[in-house]
Chains A and B, each alone.
Chain A
Amino acid sequence: MIDVKHLTKWYSQVLAVDNISFRVEKGRIVGFLGPNGAGKSTTLKIITCFLPASSGTVTLNGLDVLSESLAVRRQIGYMPENVPLYEEMRVREYLTFRAALRDIPAKRRPAAIDRVCERCWLSSPEDMTRRRLGELSRGYKQRVGLAEVLLHNPPVLVLDEPTIGLDPAQIRAMRELIRELSGDHTVIFSSHILAEVEQTCDDIIIIAGGRLAAAGTPAELRQRVAGPSRIVAELKGAAPEDIAKGVEGLAGISAVESSQHNHWTRLDIQAGDDDPRKDIFQLAKTQNWDLRELRRATGSLEDFFVQITYEQSMRTDRAAG
């Protein structure tokens, strides 16, 4: 659906996006994750035909964003970062204006506006449609921006940090709304918050310092992060050293750390690619040890993300120094 190939963007002397390639399939929800200044907004602006790329191509359904810009823009609903709005207009007036720009025939505009106002919590519980945009609170501006994006029911939605500035209830509502949109809509949204992306998205694209750091489904990434498996076991029935030594003797185990938890010996085991849990269980059975816990520890994406962010700041420090 969306094909980004070797995308690079220079802002005069600043390299904002550095040779990024990825592909977004139809109907997927894609989370665009990265620390501040990673180049998320820049990439989204290029996909939505607002900025030209310095090199590389972006196509949507085979349409090039540069040469077939109008056709691409018809299929995209874009909510920019910070949701810029015309302060002096009223909500309904603004949506009517946007509907006209979006090729919605005059007769169908009121119905379309009612639909999105309802969906984005603008008409109920409190009717905000007559308020001036300049007088709305941050969260309500965000909702107007979202309503605008949904007006013409575009197949592709591009949302730059849609949940920033919302209250917790609204964040949850926004996530649910994004989930509801999946299937017949392709959604790309950016965020700094890993948990949010992990819960909402089918695919995650992590960028840092303008480069693609990782991409895949949350499960794939988690697996990649966990690396060679780590196993936690708690055993009792022999001296801690003996237990540790016994487990260390099994095939495919590279390191064992043990600690005491009132009479139980807790082992932190680094294993290779093969899962040694069955062997550990067999060992406990033959040695007649008690076993109360035996599990694979999954590495956290959070750690991975923090590490990437850290690496980016190291890189920029070095570039600056």
Chain B
Amino acid sequence: MGKTFSIARRELAGYFYSPLAYVIGALFLCVCAFKFAPPPGFISGSREWFILVPHQQASLRTLFEMMGAAMVVAAPLLTMRLLSEEFHVGTIETLMTAPVTDAQVVLGKFLGVLGFYLALLGSTLMFLVLMFIFARPDIGVVVMGYLGMILLGAAFLAVGLFASSLTRHQLLAAAAAIVILAFFSLLMSPAAAHLGEPWNQAAARLNAMNYLKSFARGLFDSRAVVFFLALTGGFLFLSIKMVESRRWR
């Protein structure tokens, strides 16, 4: 356990040294801020799309949906370096010849990026502070929304980590992760709409955004919890197997 945390701490510290991580974090916050409170003069036709608009009922629901959609791109960019960089620089050689198990390496890396993600998520609490100043948001929505974001984040980061275990090229890893995540989110809503009977059901079940929506309404959906945890566990398991397979090839 100690070694897992050592790896996680090193990884987390690495994010705070990395300019790219700050850029991704800043972009993520900007996208959310834009949704949250548009710059004055920007509101034209669809004012309902924005959250904090004068003379309109403010709802946090759509903010969480926005964050979820932003994570389809943000998570792969955050995780792409986790293993790819080790392969590229060659540090994997010192890491894997130390007495650590493959599971410790993968879990450590996962916890490291999860830590950075939680810090990023924590900084979106400033939207809440504004919300509490100007309106009276539903506490249930806030708590469930953040729970949903934590679960979705963990699952998406696990997918990104798996993609990073596939290649030594960071951009390829990011692209692969975006493709997998798009499958579980963006692709599934048109699929649910257009496919025939049993398939549209399945497509709806595989859509991560659907599950996030129920959290964003303030509901605790145990099926959603199972879905996200299964996604997280499944991709962590696959990552461990990928790292392990290097010992046999």
- B248 in contact (CB, < 8 A): yes
A48–B247 CB distance below 8 A: no
B residues 164-189 touching A (CB-CB < 8 Å) = none
Residue among A50, A66, A73, A98 having the largest count of chain B Cβ atoms under 10 Å:
A50
From B10, B98, B249, contact of A89 by CB (8 A): B10
- CB-CB under 8 A from A147, the residues of chain B are none
B residues 1-31 touching A (CB-CB < 8 Å) = 2-3, 6-7, 10, 13-14, 17-18
Interface size class of B (residues with CB under 8 A): 20 to 34
Kindly state the separation between the CA atoms of A19 and B156 in the bound complex, as whole angstroms: 46
- B198 in contact (CB, < 8 A): no
Kindly state the separation between the CA atoms of A45 and B249 in the bound complex, as whole angstroms: 13
From B10, B96, B101, contact of A97 by CB (8 A): B10
- B93 in contact (CB, < 8 A): yes
A76–B97 CB distance below 8 A: yes
Q: Is the interface of B mostly helix, strand, loop or mixed?
A: helix
From B17, B89, B90, B98, contact of A101 by CB (8 A): B98
The residue of chain B having its C-beta at the shortest distance from the C-beta of A149 within the complex is B94
The residue of chain A having its C-beta at the shortest distance from the C-beta of B85 within the complex is A86
Kindly state the separation between the CA atoms of A35 and B62 in the bound complex, as whole angstroms: 65
A98–B14 CB distance below 8 A: no
- A135 in contact (CB, < 8 A): no
- CB-CB under 8 A from B96, the residues of chain A are 49-50
- B201 in contact (CB, < 8 A): no
The residue of chain A having its C-beta at the shortest distance from the C-beta of B247 within the complex is A52
From B17, B248, B249, contact of A88 by CB (8 A): B17
Kindly state the separation between the CA atoms of A24 and B40 in the bound complex, as whole angstroms: 76
Q: Pick 29 A–B contacts, CB within 8 A, sort by A.
A: A49-B247, A50-B93, A66-B247, A74-B99, A76-B97, A78-B94, A78-B97, A80-B90, A80-B93, A80-B94, A84-B90, A84-B91, A84-B93, A84-B94, A85-B91, A88-B14, A88-B17, A89-B10, A93-B13, A97-B10, A98-B94, A98-B98, A100-B2, A100-B3, A100-B6, A101-B6, A101-B7, A101-B95, A103-B99
